Amino acid sequence: MPNYKQDWQPLTRPTTPDAPEAGWWLSIYERAWVSRAMDELELTKGYKPSRENPAEGRLKFQFSARGHEVPQLIAAALLDHPHDGAGVYYRSRPFMLGIGLSPFECFASVMHKTAGVSGGRDIGVVFNHKQPGGVTVLPASGDVGAQYTPAVGWAQSIAYRTSRMQQRDWDGAIALTLGGDGSTATNGFWAALNIITPHNYPMVIMIEDNAYALTVPLRYQTSGRTVIDNLASFTGLSLTTVDGWKPQALYPLLRDSLAAARDNGGPQLIHVRVPRLTGHNFQDSQPYKSKQELEQDMARDPLAALAGYLRDEYGVNDVQLSDIEAAMREQARFAAEAAWEQGGEPGPEDATRHLFAPPAAIKQTAPNSEGQRVTMQAAINTCLAEEMERDKTILVFGEDVGRSGGVHRVTDGLQSRFGEERVFDTSLSEEGIVGRAVGMAVNGLRPVPEIQFRKYADPAHEQITDAGTLRWRTNGRFSAPLVLRMPVGYQRMGGDPWHAVCGEAVFAHLPGWQIAYPSNAADAVGLLRTALRGDDPVLFLEHRYLYEHAAARRPYPGTDYLLPFGKAATVRAGHDALVVTWGDGVHRAAEAAALLAEGGQEVEILDLRTIVPYDKEAVLEAVQRIGKALIVHEDNRTCGFGAELAAVIAGEAFSYLDAPVWRVTAEDVPVPCNDILFEAMMPTTRKVHDKLVELLAF
């Protein structure tokens, strides 16, 4: 038996595109039968876990693609530009087999072996694929509908590379996204449509409509008969529909739609009706379908229809078809055994590998301390401009960041300097902002999206979470180095529940993100420049009160000033008590410490600068030296990042403590508008001072 991992090749388009030759259709038929045989093998004893003993099977998950094979394989054969990108979902294994992922690798993935696409980390049908000179499959997600906006980012990257960067080898490339009918109800689907249609991006969406989202029928998914009926009013979007069990209609429609997208014909949406011949997964026996529905599904089996088409149009006989079926079943069986025996097992040490990029050496220089003190707002603007001059792949975008320069004026003047292709406004969709940034980053660009206020990030939480784990989920094959800028906290006029949220602790719980939270202009420049030159996704939190506040102003530190992440700064030296803080808390602590110094008590202030990673060594050293510690932050108290610090101090420096570790934080309520309520909720200078007095007296 040949080595199918090495011998497996991508499908190619027919040599006679107007009338595909029999050999080409047979290649589609062969791949479809491999996929079908893999699905069926996974449902047999020894693969499928039993209810009595879930650990006895070789698989933990199975999502069959029976009924979806033929449309996906034709699309795979037509996706042959070296810079094509694809967004896939959990039922896309036939497509993956078509673009070159071998049955061995597919089985190794669902068996959670090291030879699989995630090295055993993910569920095995959440695909990714890099192939030199071939299609890039963007790292998929287990979240329904999450594939659309990253694919938009790939499509926009194609447009940027061909138009602005004049990279002619990208001409004709497209992004193709596959999705089920259930995914058309998601935020990501509609966000994608609202981005690609006004801008004419080269993208094709293929909806595989099997009439069910798990057990939920179509009538609960859309108000019309199908999603394509509801999209009839969309301008800038070509709509087509076809039955997946009619190969004679399916191939020319897919051929023409992909060709139109390649030839500047605008976004295409293809609605393909397919039967789902197996339940959602191997626990689902489809009891919600009537006998008539099940029989109708089997009568519309695209694989059987393709066999009939080969007989009728090309004279292929039943013996030939049976031989193909038998050979493909054997191929699937051999790949399954090889994957189980030779796929490899990860070691315990692999569990934490590939969460972040290998640490880069940062040549830290002293900041320029001469000259006019600039605001943090102006410093970030200048740093962005300098890095955009240095790196043509940096793109800045978000709501109102372009012509208006952002509601906080941080991007003021950047669009007029660098043009609308590099600094642009977006629709009011945070899912769309972050999702497209992920696709751009995977493409090789350096996106710098802005979320206008911290609270507005909530609709993008799915994309933010997935971006952080992307490197880990793909076993280090992919990364998404984007810098997500986000204003946080209150401002001069106070706060409110919608614009004054900090919430850094929520982000600290998301694996894979680095988090910067500068307290002054110089640190903001050094951390932002390091983020823009790194290879990890970074959440860059900018406190709104500090944008123009005099206490945060510093001389501009220089055009090459870099600060490493995870290195705290001693803002004020002392020996009586220690305050660990970040962001605006640094200034509240400094004011309180100045009051105490009038009475001869010296408080040391440690500014973490970054939340992930944080400078654990500096925290513990200061605690061991001083013995009394107070943690100050503007985020809510319960499960705030200060609780993590307190736990580490108690666990690793307990014997050095002369007092309990205390916290001054915001209360566990939303930020109020009323000034009296606001003062009662926030960690004010007076509260920090009073708690320090209590700590010093302990």
Whether 499 is a known active-site residue: answer yes
Report how far residue 440's alpha carbon sits from residue 470's, in angstroms, rounded to the nearest whole number: 13
Rounded-to-integer distance, Cα 381 and Cα 421, Å: 18
Q: Catalytic residue among 68, 280, 408, 499, which?
A: 499
Q: Please state, in angstroms and rounded to a whole number, the distance separating the CA atoms of residues 17 and 502.
A: 57
Contact 510, 466 (CB under 8 A): no
**Residue 591, Cβ neighbours under 10 Å: how many?**
15
User: Are the C-beta atoms of residues 439 and 149 closer than 8 Å to each other?
Assistant: yes
Which token pair is 170?
């990208």
**Pick from 76, 73, 91, 89: nearest CA to 31:** 73
Strand partners, 178: 206
| Type of residue found at 530 | T
Distance between CA 91 and CA 95 in Å, rounded?
A: 9
Query: Mind spelling out the 3-state secondary structure of 514-568?
Result: EEECCCCHHHHHHHHHHHHHCCCCEEEEEEHHHCCCHHHCEECCCCCCCCCCCCC
d(CA 261, CA 519): 47
One-letter amino acid at 320 equals Q
- Specify whether the CB–CB gap between 447 and 441 falls below 8 A: yes
| Cα–Cα distance measured from residue 594 to residue 573, given in angstroms and rounded to the nearest whole number | 12
Residues in the chain, overall count: 698
- Rounded (10°) CA dihedral 101, 103, 104, 110: 90
Tokens representing 581?
A: 């803080």
> Who contacts 50 (Cβ-Cβ below 8 Å, separation ≥6)?
56, 57
Q: Which residues are catalytic?
A: 499
